[in-house]
């Protein structure tokens, strides 16, 4: 279930949707989770990946780009950080 506080971003290449959400089960100083869904034909979506990032939801902005959901760029405060899922 997607929480009531979330941000949606579509990849500019490929068929990925990124949902940045506030995770109430995590501590308040790092309560952000990024859910990645892959869309398909005709209009099917499947859960693809999840990133648990250690930042506050209110201070986080993601950039979704590329054909694969293995990398995500996060801007928080004055930092720009790239995460890779293994």
Average pLDDT, the chain: 78
Number of domains, the chain = 1
Question: Residue 4: is its pLDDT beyond 80?
Answer: no
- 39 lies in which domain range? 6-84
Taking residue 14's Cβ as centre, other Cβ atoms within 10 Å add up to: 14
Q: Are 45 and 37 in contact (CB under 8 A)?
A: yes
- C-alpha to C-alpha distance for 6 and 26, rounded to whole angstroms: 15
Question: Residue 50: is its pLDDT beyond 70?
Answer: yes
Task: Specify if 1 maps to a domain.
Answer: no
Taking residue 25's Cβ as centre, other Cβ atoms within 10 Å add up to: 6
pLDDT of residue 33: 87
Question: Residue 57: is its pLDDT beyond 80?
Answer: yes
pLDDT of residue 43: 63
Task: Specify if 44 maps to a domain.
Answer: yes
* Average pLDDT for 19-48: 80
Taking residue 34's Cβ as centre, other Cβ atoms within 10 Å add up to: 23
Q: Are 42 and 48 in contact (CB under 8 A)?
A: no
pLDDT of residue 66: 63
């Amino acid at each position: 279930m997607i929480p009531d506080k979330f941000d949606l971003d579509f990849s500019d290449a490929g068929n990925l949707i990124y949902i940045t959400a506030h995770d109430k089960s995590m501590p308040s100083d790092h309560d952000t989770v990024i859910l990645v869904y892959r869309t398909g034909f005709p209009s099917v979506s499947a859960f693809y990946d999840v990133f648990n990032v250690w930042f506050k939801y209110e201070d986080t902005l993601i950039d979704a780009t590329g054909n694969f959901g293995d990398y995500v760029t996060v801007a928080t405060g004055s930092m720009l950080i790239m995460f890779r899922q293994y």
